[in-house]
Structure 1
Amino acid sequence: MQTINVGEREIREAVTMDEAIESVRRGFVDLAGGEFEMPTRTALRDGQFLVMSAHHRSTASAMFKTLSLNFQRTPAIAGTVVWSETGRTEQLVADAGAVTTLRTGAVVGVATDLLAPSDAGRLTLIGAGAQAPDQVRAVHAVRPLRRLTVVDADTRRAQALLEALEPELPDVELSTASDAEAAVGSAEIVCCATNTTSPLFPASALPARVHVNAIGAYRPTMRELPDELLADSTVVIDELAAILEESGEILHALEAGALTKEALTELGTALTATDAAYGERTVFKSVGVAVQDWALARLLAEKFLP
């Protein structure tokens, strides 16, 4: 068995955000079509260690990811992604940190392209951590930005993020903020990428017409969005079983009676719907599922395996 190792720099050089978005989009369509065997991920030590896997039936390919999360260290995400195919003697082992941030950005790109107003160009990003750069890149890929506001309790971290992204956003108005409630008031798209345990803003702070992505909370104890927003929005999720296992905001809203399971639409289903109608406010909630990692690993396999 030959193993091909792919590091963060190689991943970044090989895969564009447009490619990642399209691959993740196809993956979710296949998920809706029953093409995947995908167990709910294993979470150890309250989510500090995660194990994920997915098998794509029609290609006889599989992805296995193990990673550790520690927001007090740099990098916060560390681990490996392994790609294998039946009948092939080569396997690919990739850096899980780069794959995770890229695939999380990509799914936000897919959801934003589906749900955000076609003319939306004002993004407020809450959280300037490891996931933040690819959140911006993904939204910009599908809704070219006119303005970007980064909210973080550490304004120096927010400013550092803007300085790093500035060469990629030459015509975008850039600013930082420390008050999330005020910063979302004029946004057309909001991305939440934090590890908070309580809502970041009240629903009343948002404009009537807005799309919100929430990807930071991935455990039942974590919660970025208020019940009132979920009750008053079209809510699209990555995958129902994973959401009911891990999404603190969805579980809280269900328990409070602000939301029903019937009101939740899986992303793959939404992508294949022919007569979908969405309200003025839309929410995409993701805890991250293995099909996203499979989609990125497949791209890498196509580029790096002989």
Structure 2
Amino acid sequence: MATIPWYDGEAVARATPMPALIAALQRAFASGDYHAPPRLAADMDGASLLVMPAWKGRERVGTKIVTVDPRARPSIQSTYILSDRASGRPIAAIDGAMLTRRRTAAASVLAASRLARPASATLLAIGTGALNAPIIEAYASAFALKNILVWGRDADKAEAAASAARALGYPAAAIATIEAGLAAADIVTAATLATEPLIAGAALRPGMHIDLIGAFRPDMCEADAESFARARVFVDTHEGAMEEAGDLQQAIAAGAIRADAIEADLAALCSGSHPGRGDDDQAITLFKSVGTAIEDMTAAELVVGDAAP
């Protein structure tokens, strides 16, 4: 078999400009053509191994293999293989870490385009890891942001992330406390490996949108139960969220929210079967994601483009 093409991180970034990637995800979720079973998640002595398959009709199959290790830098590493379903032959191997970062940020902004107020101007980005830069890029592509506030446990890392964003032309600044960010933000996005709540529901203000990206294991948590109790809650996929979303599971266990109170998933938001925020300008909306292989496959197809059969 001929050597299959390898797309490194730079190639992935070039092929997935945020407006195009967000639009591709919207089409994928609305179409119903993509399918993904629950991912395999296994513990590896404090790290996580994730195997995420997906397929599109009888055309293609994709599989991502991911390791998430809080002790490693970067903490998320993975490879994606896209194959032709009819022949079973691999079409491409892709840097899964970059693919994951970009599709994760794009999916959050896809949800925010339905759930956040269109005039949202201040973003609070919690977390200074590898997702920080694509998250800022994605939100800035869809909202006219006047302020981007960056918080991290390490103040030096927060300043470095804000400085990197400013170098790209974004109006970013590091802040000392999450509380200060919550007092000013229209949109709050969290991408951390936290196991204790960072966001206090009591501090949320009417009209805010909360985007929770971390807490993909039952022992993880980015927002407390009151955050869920005060918000209209949406998820990327019902099945994934109910199986893996730590802060959502903890809020349900605490009695702050019932599982049947989740209003919609991304497919419903993208197809138009749920209106999203609608005219409710004062609602607090909350989007909880754990990631789905549908997003990976959509991004991989954008990377490969016309190079694949």
TM-score range, shorter chain: over 0.9
Specify the alignment match of 2:132 in structure 1. 132
Specify the alignment match of 2:93 in structure 1. 93
Specify the alignment match of 1:9 in structure 2. 10
- TM-score (norm: length of structure 1): 0.92
Q: How many percent of aligned residue pairs carry the same amino acid? A: 28
Match 1:300 to one of 267, 282, 303: 303
Say if 2:236 and 2:288, in contact at 8 Å, map to a contact too: yes
Against the structure 1 CA distance between its residues 277 and 158, is the aligned structure 2 distance closer, same or farther, given a 3 Å change threshold? closer
Specify the alignment match of 1:74 in structure 2. 73
Q: Deviations over 1:44-70 (max 9, x none)?
A: 11662110000111x521110001112
1:222 equivalent to 2:220? Answer: yes
Mapped partners of 1:153, 1:79: distance in 2: 25
Say if 1:111 and 1:284, in contact at 8 Å, map to a contact too: yes
Mapped partners of 1:108, 1:133: distance in 2: 14
1:29 equivalent to 2:25? Answer: no
1:154 equivalent to 2:157? Answer: no
Against the structure 1 CA distance between its residues 90 and 196, is the aligned structure 2 distance closer, same or farther, given a 3 Å change threshold? closer
Say if 1:52 and 1:66, in contact at 8 Å, map to a contact too: yes
Unaligned stretches of 5+ in structure 1?
none
Cα displacement (A) at 1:24: 1.5
Cα displacement (A) at 1:275: 6.0
SS at match of 1:92: strand
Unaligned stretches of 5+ in structure 2?
none
Match 2:195 to one of 185, 197, 219: 197
Specify the alignment match of 2:267 in structure 1. 268
Q: Deviations over 1:118-173 (max 9, x none)?
A: 10010001101111111111111111210011011111111111222223335x2x
Question: Which residues of 2 match residues 220-259 of structure 1 at below 5 A?
Answer: 220-259=218-257
Against the structure 1 CA distance between its residues 299 and 277, is the aligned structure 2 distance closer, same or farther, given a 3 Å change threshold? closer
- TM-score (norm: length of structure 2): 0.92
Cα displacement (A) at 1:14: 2.3
Mapped partners of 1:65, 1:18: distance in 2: 23
Say if 1:40 and 1:242, in contact at 8 Å, map to a contact too: yes
Mapped partners of 2:210, 2:169: distance in 1: 21
Against the structure 1 CA distance between its residues 242 and 36, is the aligned structure 2 distance closer, same or farther, given a 3 Å change threshold? same
Superposed CA RMSD in Å reads 1.8
Mapped partners of 1:87, 1:290: distance in 2: 20
Cα displacement (A) at 1:175: 1.5
SS at match of 1:185: helix
- Choose 207-216 or 83-92, whichever is displaced more: 83-92
Query: Which one-letter code corresponds to 1:160 in the other structure?
Result: A
Mapped partners of 1:51, 1:90: distance in 2: 17
Say if 1:21 and 1:109, in contact at 8 Å, map to a contact too: yes
Against the structure 1 CA distance between its residues 246 and 12, is the aligned structure 2 distance closer, same or farther, given a 3 Å change threshold? same
The number of residue pairs the alignment matches comes to 300
Mapped partners of 2:276, 2:153: distance in 1: 36
Query: Which one-letter code corresponds to 1:286 in the other structure?
Result: S
SS at match of 1:149: strand
